[in-house]
């Protein structure tokens, strides 16, 4: 019935749709907003510097978007992503898988994690500055994807191919600012992700969508 069926044997995928306003809160089970521990009450955990990424997901009125599903993906402190490509990699951290998620409230969200390392150049792919991939689902939108960088990595950021693909004023919108450095607590970085309007965050896509 679809055009695709007469030009290819591939199955036609479903269309991505909005998550709507009623994604069940209870589906967020287990605390994936904190990747610094696998379970409560352990004295062991992932390697690296503990950080908090404090973010505000904003609409075109500058209001915080609540009930959005936000998912995070990042490398460990050594810059290694836990993907099939890296199975058995000696620098994988057994206490860190790198996928987090939360549902936003009317307050800024806080994602507690390990500061990702820079991804090494490999297999023809460029080195990458430390970054966290952020995917957002909410009422009114389908998936939005971007990557967030750190303002205390100016040299790495200057070499990053994703940042380099953007005009300068847009690059700045992807860089989280370190706001405080308590001696005994995690470093806190702040970012505003503007879904639409003045200061709109650049979002990313590929050619297969």
* Residue 119 to residue 194: CA distance in whole angstroms: 26
* Residue 193 to residue 196: CA distance in whole angstroms: 9
Q: Is residue 1 a contact residue for another protein (CB under 8 A)?
A: yes
Shorter beta-carbon distance to another protein: residue 65 or 114? 65
Q: Which of 51, 73, 78, 175 is close enough to bind another protein by CB under 8 A?
A: 73
* Residue 193 to residue 29: CA distance in whole angstroms: 25
Binding mask 144-183 for another protein (x = CB under 8 A): xx-x------------xxx-xxx-----------------
Shorter beta-carbon distance to another protein: residue 4 or 179? 4
Rg of the Cα atoms in the chain: 18
Q: Which residue has the tokens 């860089």?
A: 175
Query: Which span (40-48, 75-83, 105-113, 148-156) binds another protein, by CB under 8 A?
Result: 75-83
Shorter beta-carbon distance to another protein: residue 30 or 182? 30
12-51 residues in contact with another protein (CB under 8 A) are 12-27, 29-30, 32
Which distant-in-sequence residues (6+ apart) come within 8 Å of 26 by Cβ? none
CB of 154 to another protein, least distance (A): 18
- Token digits for 66? 């609540």
Q: Which of 64, 65, 114, 176 is close enough to bind another protein by CB under 8 A?
A: 65
Query: Which span (45-53, 106-114, 130-138, 176-184) binds another protein, by CB under 8 A?
Result: 130-138
Which distant-in-sequence residues (6+ apart) come within 8 Å of 195 by Cβ? 57, 58, 59, 60, 65, 136, 141, 144, 201
């Amino acid at each position: 019935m679809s055009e695709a069926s007469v030009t290819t044997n591939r199955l036609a995928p479903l269309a991505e749709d909005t998550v709507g306003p009623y994604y069940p809160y209870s589906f967020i089970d287990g605390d994936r907003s904190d990747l610094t521990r696998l379970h409560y009450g352990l004295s062991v955990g992932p390697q690296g510097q503990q950080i908090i990424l404090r973010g505000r997901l904003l609409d075109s009125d500058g209001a915080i978007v609540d009930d959005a599903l936000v998912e995070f993906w990042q490398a460990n402190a050594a810059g290694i992503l836990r993907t099939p490509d890296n199975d058995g990699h000696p620098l994988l951290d057994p206490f860190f898988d790198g996928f987090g998620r939360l549902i936003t409230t009317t307050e800024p969200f806080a994602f507690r994690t390990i500061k990702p390392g820079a991804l090494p150049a490999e297999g023809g792919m460029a080195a990458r500055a430390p970054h966290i991939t952020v995917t957002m689902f909410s009422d009114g939108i389908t998936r939005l994807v971007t990557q967030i960088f750190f303002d205390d990595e100016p040299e790495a950021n200057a070499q990053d191919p994703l940042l380099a693909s953007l005009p300068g004023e847009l690059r700045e919108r992807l860089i989280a600012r370190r706001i405080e450095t308590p001696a005994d607590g995690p470093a806190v970085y702040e970012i505003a992700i503007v879904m639409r309007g003045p200061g709109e965050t650049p979002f990313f896509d590929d050619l297969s969508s």
